């Protein structure tokens, strides 16, 4: 779906004030779209890939909370979104260490950009995160309904302690979401 959106962006209307397309096709975004879809296909064919879980978290940006975005659309609120990759450490660590690692505890790396978007008042800055995470699929609830709930929740990064790495600083957070 996102690849379709990217191609459609390539045919965006021309801005009268600048004479340039409003959005435009981004090769980097198209490659990310293909890799993102390929990740889920690879999980089907290579079970080892199930040790890596893509996740997302969201907290409304300052611009959205202040009503500065005219459409108030959270899906376009890029400053409020964080993307995560969680690792099932119990399965990835050597056996001597893994036997002491709780099966519900994962490590996640995250990425977020501040200062992006038409209504931001900051300059663009990347932020990186290393946090603990929860493997909801380890909760002992069984049946089709609970499997659906656990699988769905496992795409969400829950607020957990971690470290943020950003421009010239490293900070600890008790709840990074």
Backbone angles phi, psi at 74, to 5 degrees: -65, -25
User: Coil, helix or strand for 112?
Assistant: strand
Q: What does the alpha-carbon distance between residue 94 and residue 111 come to, in Å, rounded to a whole number?
A: 27
Taking only the tens place, the pLDDT of each residue in 71-102 is 777 777 888 899 999 999 999 999 999 999 99
Which residues of the chain fall short of a pLDDT of 50? none
- What's the pLDDT score for residue 2? 78
- What's the pLDDT score for residue 119? 64
Degrees to nearest 5, angle at CA 75 with 13 and 110: 120
Backbone angles phi, psi at 106, to 5 degrees: -120, 165
Matching residue, tokens 């959205």: 64
Question: How many Cβ atoms are within 10 Å of 14's Cβ, its own excluded?
Answer: 10
Q: What distance, in Å, lies between the first and last C-alpha atoms of the chain?
A: 26
Token pair, residue 176, equals: 């990074």
Question: How many Cβ atoms are within 10 Å of 40's Cβ, its own excluded?
Answer: 10
Token pair, residue 37, equals: 């879809």
Cβ atoms of 38 and 2 within 8 Å: the answer is: no
């Amino acid at each position: 779906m996102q690849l379709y959106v990217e191609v459609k962006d390539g045919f965006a209307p021309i801005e009268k004030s600048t004479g340039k397309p409003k959005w435009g096709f981004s090769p980097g975004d198209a490659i990310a779209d293909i890799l993102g879809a390929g990740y889920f296909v690879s999980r089907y064919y290579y079970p080892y890939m199930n040790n890596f879980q893509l996740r997302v978290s969201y907290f409304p940006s300052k611009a959205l909370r202040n009503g500065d975005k005219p459409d108030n659309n959270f899906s376009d609120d890029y400053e409020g979104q964080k993307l995560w990759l969680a690792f099932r450490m119990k399965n990835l660590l050597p056996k001597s260490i893994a036997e002491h690692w709780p099966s519900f505890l994962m490590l996640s790396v995250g990425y977020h950009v501040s200062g992006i978007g038409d209504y931001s008042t900051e300059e663009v800055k990347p932020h990186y995160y290393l946090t603990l995470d929860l493997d909801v699929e380890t909760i002992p609830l069984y049946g089709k309904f609970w499997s659906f709930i656990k699988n769905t929740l496992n795409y969400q990064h829950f607020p957990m302690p971690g470290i943020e790495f950003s421009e010239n600083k490293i900070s600890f957070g008790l709840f990074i979401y």
